[in-house]
A = this chain, B = another copy of it.
Amino acid sequence: MFEAAEADPSLTDQQAKPLEKKLRTALLKAQYARLSKPGKALLIVIAGIDGAGKGASVSLLNEWMDARHIRTLAFGKRTAAEKNYPYFWRYWQQLPEKGRTGIVFGSWYEPLLKEATKKQPDQGVIQAHAEAIRRFEAMLVQDGIQVVKLWYHLSQAAQSERVKVLLADPNTAWRVRPGDVKVKKKFDRLRNAGALAINLTHSDETPWSVIPSADENSRSIATGEAILAAMHPTPAPRGRAVPQPAASSPAQASVAQRIATWREAPTLQGLDYDARLNSQEYNDQLATWQSRLAKLAQGNTLNKRPLILVFEGQDAAGKGGSIRRVTHALDARQFRAIPISAPSPEELAHPWLWRFWRNLPAPNNVTIFDRSWYGRVLVERVEKYARPADWQRAYAEINEFEAQLHDSGMHVVKFWLAVTKDEQLRRFREREASTFKSFKITPEDWRNRAKWRAYCQAANDMFAYTDTPTCPWHVLSANDKRHARVAVLQTIVQTLEDAS
């Protein structure tokens, strides 16, 4: 894999100059073509042997291309704050939007490479990292982010020599980082770790290029050529197989475990729609559960395990009212309610899960999604906003997303508030008749109602695919609002109490 790079090829200035000129022009042209018609974002992952000139190459790209449309995304050790979130969270926050370019330093390959560089690496850990990476990159690719990965490489002798020369001059010595010097002692292990990482994560859609780095000219030209090749608009056929399917997730339970914990997913037709509470029962139980929730929230239950609440359900099922009964028991500083509607242009320019990744709760906090990522397999499916291939793969993407949330310590509690078709009609009419509720009913609600069966089918499919042992669905009859509100509170309290 590294033979060519370790031959340390070089180019004379005379050879490099004309190549450079052509490359720069072509790169700029490609960059502007993408900006003027933003189809994809470009994410360039920088990795390789320390002291091979990775930093210098990024500076070069900023000089050769229009730096105003390139962002360098540099990540160090995960901070304490970052550790409160799933591993990929900080990368999600920084994804470039369509038309833009991001260059990633300190990428999601660090843990894999670190493990693989150990004297006695754990193959299981390496495989798990590689699989998580493949799924993450596959999702990016499917959602309009092109991923190109560069491995900077050179021979051991050339690496030592390069560091030595820089260190000899006080004006360049500061460019040498501690890691650059240490390479010497473990060159072979670094090299093999790189080869393994490339082997495990190279695919047509997320390719690696090895950049020979001993000579500045050939490093620059190879870098530019790799980027240019990636930018060339080769229209990728969409909707075809995902590069690496997200089926067997190590983050999720093993097959044996899944069979053991399997339960039949809930369905809309399986509910007792007659469940109801009288006014006295309601007031008593509401006070009881609100008080218990308040005590939990004021304690330190949420400190290690922040809470995500998802509210879905038919129109007029009473999501807003149920949410308010929950928030009454919380301190205003502790929660955020996020209403989800059609994505903004900025959100559309990112992978579809991006807007949810941006709104995860900090420690001790609660994020309440009033509608959620499940819109992908509900409204976007029924109204055909998403292509079949896109909403079909969303089940696996959602399970992966929620598994990451759960594994990072967050509670994910998902509600479907269910009303019958008759009850919905009654509420629509009531809303229309009320001066201050009429804002809650729009022509869209009537249009959705006309597709009642399609929505029910989508909901049942969703339960079947995304009801998991760790993030189960709570499908509640909401024909009686009192019953639903109490059941929501009770479910939250019991989930928190069971976990602590």
A81 to B81 Cα, complex, angstroms:
10
Instruction: Please tell me if A469 contacts chain B, counting CB pairs below 8 Å.
Output: no
The answer to whether A333 touches B172, judged by C-beta atoms less than 8 angstroms apart, is no
Tier of interface size on chain A: 35 or more
Instruction: Please tell me if A270 contacts chain B, counting CB pairs below 8 Å.
Output: no
A324 partner, pick from B62, B66, B68, B105, beta carbons under 8 A = B62
Chain A, range 70-129, C-beta contacts under 8 Å to B? 71-72, 74-76, 81, 105-106
A26 to chain B, nearest CB (A): 9
Q: A341 — nearest CB in chain B belongs to which residue?
A: B68
The answer to whether B174 touches A105, judged by C-beta atoms less than 8 angstroms apart, is no
The answer to whether B74 touches A331, judged by C-beta atoms less than 8 angstroms apart, is yes
B-facing mask of A308-337, CB < 8 A → 1, else 0? 000000000000100110011101111011
Chain A, range 336-354, C-beta contacts under 8 Å to B? 336-337, 339, 341, 346
Given contacts A59-B324, A333-B76, A337-B67, contact A21 B291 (CB under 8 A): no
Chain A, range 1-60, C-beta contacts under 8 Å to B? 21, 24-25, 28, 32, 55, 58-59
Given contacts A25-B436, A291-B170, A436-B24, contact A333 B105 (CB under 8 A): yes
A sample of 16 inter-chain contacts (CB < 8 A) reads: A24-B435, A24-B436, A62-B324, A63-B324, A64-B436, A67-B339, A68-B320, A68-B370, A74-B333, A76-B333, A169-B287, A171-B287, A171-B291, A172-B287, A175-B294, A346-B346
**Extra contacts besides A62-B327, A170-B291, A171-B287 (19): CB < 8 Å:** A24-B435, A24-B436, A58-B332, A59-B327, A64-B436, A67-B323, A67-B324, A68-B370, A74-B332, A81-B81, A106-B333, A169-B287, A171-B290, A171-B291, A172-B291, A174-B290, A174-B298, A175-B294, A346-B346
Closest 6 CB pairs of A and B: A171-B287, A24-B436, A74-B333, A68-B339, A74-B332, A174-B294
